[in-house]
């Protein structure tokens, strides 16, 4: 991968990371400010369901933030765009679709097939 491509993906990843961190800060602030003492059981259940949903979203965003940080570290280490399983190049098209990809499409397909078989 040439330097222009690396700069392109680095900019995408840094912008994505900035947006996620900003969103996470806002979401955590709203979660902490939420009123949870509701006398009506239905209102309380609705509130807790929405609260749990927001926490799941924040958890998923946290995982994505870690993947973005790892991809940025890979760029710095010269390992970005290299499949962690087979050592081959990850296609530019795949990286454009999933900038945090760590496996080429062939290896990722195999990994997902194995996960479906084993249920993990």
How far apart CA 60 and CA 7 sit, in angstroms, is 26
Segment-wise mean pLDDT, segments of 10 residues, the chain, 120 residues: 95 96 73 66 84 88 96 97 97 97 97 91
CB 75 within 8 A of CB 102: no
pLDDT of residue 6: 96
Q: Is there a single domain that holds both residue 94 and residue 76?
A: no
Q: What is the pTM of this model?
A: 0.80
Q: Is there a single domain that holds both residue 45 and residue 73?
A: yes
Q: Is there a single domain that holds both residue 32 and residue 15?
A: yes
CB 83 within 8 A of CB 107: yes
pLDDT of residue 48: 84
pLDDT of residue 51: 82
pLDDT of residue 41: 84
Q: Could you tell me the maximum CA-CA distance found in the chain, to the nearest angstrom?
A: 61
pLDDT of residue 116: 93
Q: Is there a single domain that holds both residue 14 and residue 51?
A: yes
- The H-or-E segment that residue 120 falls in is none
Q: Is there a single domain that holds both residue 107 and residue 69?
A: no
Would you give the end-to-end CA distance of the chain in angstroms?
33
- The owner of tokens 């900003």 is 22
What CATH number did the domain enclosing 58 receive?
1.20.120.910
pLDDT of residue 29: 62
Which domain covers residue 25, as residue numbers?
A: 1-80
Q: Is there a single domain that holds both residue 41 and residue 100?
A: no
Task: Count how many domains the chain has.
Answer: 2
Q: Is there a single domain that holds both residue 54 and residue 108?
A: no
Phi then psi for residue 70, to 5 deg, are: -65, -40
């Amino acid at each position: 991968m040439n330097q222009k491509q690396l700069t392109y993906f680095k900019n995408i990843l840094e912008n994505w990371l900035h947006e996620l961190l900003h969103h996470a800060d806002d979401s955590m602030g709203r979660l902490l400010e939420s009123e949870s003492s509701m006398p009506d059981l239905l209102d309380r259940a609705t509130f807790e369901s929405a609260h749990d949903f927001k926490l799941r979203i924040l958890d998923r965003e946290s995982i994505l933030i870690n993947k973005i940080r790892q991809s940025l570290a890979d760029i710095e280490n010269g390992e970005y765009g290299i499949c962690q399983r087979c050592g081959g190049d990850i296609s530019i098209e795949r990286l454009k679709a999933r900038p945090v990809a760590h496996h080429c499409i062939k290896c990722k397909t195999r990994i997902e097939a194995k996960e479906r078989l084993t249920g993990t």
